[in-house]
Amino acid sequence: MEIIKYKEEHRIFRETVKKFLEKEVIPYVDQWEEAGIVPKTVWRKMGEQGFLCMQVPEEYGGLGADFLYSVILAEELVRTNHTGLAAPLHSDVVVPYITSFTSEELKRKYLPKCVSGEMITAIAMTEPNTGSDLAAIRTTAVEDGDTVIINGQKTFISNGINCDLLVLAAKDPSVKNPYEAIDLYLVEAGTPGFEKGKKIRKVGWHSQDTAELFFEDCRIPKANRLGQKGGGFMMMMEKLQQERLMCAIAAVAGAEHMLEMTIKYCKERTAFGRPISKFQNTQFTLVEMATEVKLGRTFLDKLIVDHMEGRNIVVEVSMAKYWTTEMAMRVADRCVQLHGGYGYCEEYPIARAWRDTRVLSIFAGTNEIMKIIAAKFMGL
């Protein structure tokens, strides 16, 4: 029985996305991986097709679509076997902060550009030596009349090079309670005092422009603060449910894709005069992986439905984020093993999928943090 009730328009949308990606993305993936970045022109093409920020209300240029459109796009992007075009981060992690917490003036100023792809967004929480401990951030925001002066450093910021607009977490040094000291601000690229560092070289995610960001006496309007003063931490807690759900979506879709690639390979690759899919060890391994993938899909689809119904599923999403990403890593490793020496060669797509999967247990809050969250709500 299907847990998610996809409608015909959802199925049509999936086919439209597939055709777009086959024409505008997949042929260029290797080129982008080599360059270490995805050109901004592709983002504009995504915007022209209506593939960005689909949940943004129509009055701000969006489609006012349901969350399933975001799910479909995220799944199909995973199947391109690269991570550089981080549209789900832009559309379903960063832009919801603008939609939910900014003034009407800022919504009308920025949302249409986010929808069109004219502006690419990023979110800057993580800092050197803080990791997942958001209360320990050191970047400061000091009010000075109608402006705010930002000083500090951020790291591991996805879309860091391409970003035109940043949701920045900073603290008021005069407030002692670290959870009440945090605010979120919108900072445009090109603002004096805001500098982008070099793209960080990573083991995987080669076409994803991950960067360090620096702020030195960066002055922005006080009106660029999101929500009420001191509310930044609670805003992040509210939106992290969807961010971590998006991570689980990528993990399950990635595991499904890797398994599909490996089954195809095992049917085609021969050893000792027959396809390796006919060997019992291969069959057992594939069945075990398929079982885990189906368990992950069932858990995930239930959470997608719950999330769309507005339920508080912070604990369940934390569990799903850690379990599905670790499952995806197990699948990736076993798929490489079944490919043998070819699995360790760049010309085989499983190699890229393997290295790109590893980071899923680290970002959006490490899996250890996910377990701490679940333990807390369990009263442990």
* Selected catalytic residue, list 243, 256, 292, 316: 243
Q: pLDDT at residue 37 above 80?
A: yes
- Mapped onto helix, strand or coil, the DSSP state of residue 218 is strand
More confident residue, 179 or 43: 43
Q: How far apart are CA 268 and CA 285, in angstroms?
A: 17
CB crowding 249-287: b at 16 or more within 10 Å, else e: bbbbbbbbbbbebbbebbeeeeeeeeebbeeeebeebbe
User: What distance in Å separates the CA atoms of residue 223 and residue 177, rounded to the nearest whole number?
Assistant: 23
Report the pLDDT value the prediction gives residue 288, as an integer from 0 to 100.
98
Model pLDDT for residues 266-305, shown as the tens digit of each residue? 999 999 999 999 999 999 999 999 999 999 999 999 999 9
pLDDT surpassing 90 at residue 352:
yes
Rounded to a whole number of angstroms, the CA Rg of the chain reads 21
Contact 112, 142 (CB under 8 A): no
Cα–Cα distance between 255 and 335 in angstroms, integer? 10
Domains in the chain: ranges and CATH = 8-119 (1.10.540.10), 123-230 (2.40.110.10), 233-377 (1.20.140.10)
Q: Give strand pairing partners of 213.
A: 154, 196
Instruction: Find the range with the poorest average confidence among 70-74, 128-132, 154-158, 261-265.
Output: 128-132
pLDDT value of position 132: 67
- 230-261 pLDDT, tens per residue? 999 999 988 989 999 999 999 999 999 999 99
pLDDT of residue 136: 81
Query: What average pLDDT does the segment 75-87 reach?
Result: 96
Q: Which of 58-62, 208-212, 322-326, 361-365 has the lowest mean pLDDT?
A: 361-365
Catalytic residue list contains 243: yes
Indicate the range of 56-60, 104-108, 360-364 predicted with least confidence: 360-364
Name the residue with tokens 């035109």: 164
* pLDDT at res. 1: 62
Q: For residue 133, is pLDDT > 80?
A: no
pLDDT band at 378 (very low <50, low <70, confident <90, very high): confident
**Contacts of residue 233, Cβ cutoff 8 Å, sequence gap at least 6:** 134, 135, 179, 180, 182
Position 364 scores a pLDDT of 87
